[in-house]
Amino acid sequence: MTIPAADFDAVVFDMDGVVTQTATVHAAAWKALFDAFLEERAQRSGEPFRPFDVESDYLPYVDGKARYDGVRDFLASRGVELPWGDPADPPDAETVCGLGNRKNDYFLRAVAEQGVRPFPTTVALIHQLHEAGVRTAIISASKNTSAILDAAGVRDLFAAQVDGTVAERLGLPGKPDPAVFVEAARRLGIAPPRAVVVEDAEAGVEAGHRGGFGLVVGVDRAGHAAALREHGADVVVKDLGEVTVT
Asked if the bond preceding 176 is cis, omega within 30° of 0, the reply is yes
Rg (C-alpha) for the chain, rounded Å, is: 18
**41, amino acid identity:** R
Residue in 16, 57, 69, 234 annotated catalytic: 16
- Measured CA distances, 181 to 92, 162, 167, 173 (Å): 33, 8, 11, 11
Residue in 14, 89, 200, 234 annotated catalytic: 14
What number of CA atoms fall less than 13 Å from residue 225's CA on the CB side?
7
Whether the Cβ atoms of residue 136 and residue 157 lie closer than 8 Å to each other: yes
Active site residue 163: no
**What is the arrangement of strands in the sheet containing 215-219, beginning at the earlier edge strand?**
160-162, 135-139, 10-14, 195-199, 215-219, 235-237
Active site residue 239: no
Catalytic residues: 14, 16
